[in-house]
Amino acid sequence: MSSRFETVLAEAQAGLKSMIRKRDPAGIAGLRSVIAALENACAVAVDDPASLVVADQHIAGAGRFGQVEASRRQLSAAEVDQILADEIAQRREQAETFDQTGRDLEAAMATYQAKLIERLRDGRLSGLQS
């Protein structure tokens, strides 16, 4: 994985732990979403799903190590930054929609999440952790 990917993922995971300790539901949701987006982007398409079946499906771990695992795709720094930009844009769009429909609390939460992801993108999330 790129060092940018590893850095952003580690900072997001540390931030998530902090948000859980603070009981910050908007922060938890925003960081979980970013972590999922980053990890999903690393997934590779499986051409032959039958090749992922272990020898004995009824015993956990019955196959040899690696038999049921596919290697992950490596993300470039530009791809990581694009994922973060997409997440920020999505939150801003949600905030605007919520604001237009008079859902002020949801708009504020989406705006907060966008700012949180911006801090993550800029490497400033660690300052929020306690």
* Domain locations in the chain as residue ranges: 3-128
More confident residue, 18 or 73: 18
Q: What is the mean pLDDT of the chain?
A: 85
Give 126's pLDDT tier (boundaries 50, 70, 90).
confident
Contact 53, 44 (CB under 8 A): no
What is the mean pLDDT of the segment spanning 8-34?
95
Give 111's pLDDT tier (boundaries 50, 70, 90).
very high
Token pair 């999440």 in the structure block, residue: 113
Q: Residue 2, by phi and psi: left (phi above 0), alpha (psi -120 to 50) or beta? A: beta
Looking at the whole model, is its pTM more than 0.85?
no
What is the mean pLDDT of the segment spanning 36-43?
92
pLDDT (0 to 100) of residue 44? 77
Contact 91, 117 (CB under 8 A): yes
More confident residue, 57 or 33: 33
Long-range contact set of residues 21-26: C-beta below 8 Å, sequence gap at least 24: 21/130, 22/130, 26/109, 26/112, 26/113
pLDDT (0 to 100) of residue 2? 64
Each residue of 56-90: pLDDT tens digit? 455 555 555 545 556 778 899 999 999 999 999 99
Q: Residue 56, by phi and psi: left (phi above 0), alpha (psi -120 to 50) or beta? A: beta
